[in-house]
A and B are shown apart, each in its own frame.
Chain A
Amino acid sequence: MAGNRNSKYRTAAILAVIALGLFLYTLYAGLK
């Protein structure tokens, strides 16, 4: 499970970055 522990934080980080990026992009798109 130790190997999975590292990859699970990576999975979560990628998803969180996607979420944050979409939020910021939405605001940016609204500003245009």
Chain B
Amino acid sequence: MKSMWQRAGMAGVALTTSQMALAEYAYNLQTPASKVAQDVFQLHNLIMMVCLGIFVVVFGAMFYSLYAHRKSKGHKAAHFHENTMVEVVWTVIPFVILMGMAYPAAKVVIDMKDTTNPDMTVKITGYQWKWGYDYLNDGVSFYSNLSTPQEQIVGTAAKDEHYLLEVDEPMVVPVGKRVRLLITANDVIHSWWVPAFGVKQDAIPGFIRDSWFKADKVGTYRGQCAELCGKEHGFMPIVVKVVSEEDYKAWVAKKKDAAQTAVAAPAAQ
């Protein structure tokens, strides 16, 4: 029996140290780039602390018991088998803890759902297998396709840094502006997700669902389709470039120019 425990312990140590010796690992949510994502990040930290606390208390007791209350140690079994007071206590305490978590969570829910007072609106359409962006205020429309070459996917070329997370035409938005999203789909259910903004909204054919985000910092943020939509579900990423207000206006002007000089409809698939 003792050797079994020893063996398990050694395996655990070996595993952990070997993991730490290897490359960088991401253990938490992505770095937030919006207040909503920040709120979610902190909410998740809070829940993790609570769960860790409960885990340590309960399983500390259990592992102690496994050691101290063993027959091989000569421990004789007690005979108690119920206690109403204890049942009440360990029903009420978790309930109170949950209420403590529910309140901050509810506030974030309400904030996430509040799509009023946008600075601009973008309609997003999910297709098999690409995204379409329509800027309702600025009159810009285009498709956004995965731009990673097939050779990289099948392994005949080396994969670049943003393998599977790069597109031909990213969505561009100005920093610090409240962007309302009207999300729908053309065929099956897709889901538009950018982790850094804390936004994920299912794209449902025949219906429009709204959501919003406000990006805090200039930068490029990447996400993926988050609802199984067929064979290329893993190959229709989202890239959002957050730029300064001037850069955004310049981009809009360029897009409109290109649309006017283009002979046919916006770039097909």
So, do A and B actually touch in the complex, CB under 8 Å? no
Residues of A within 8 A of B (CB): none
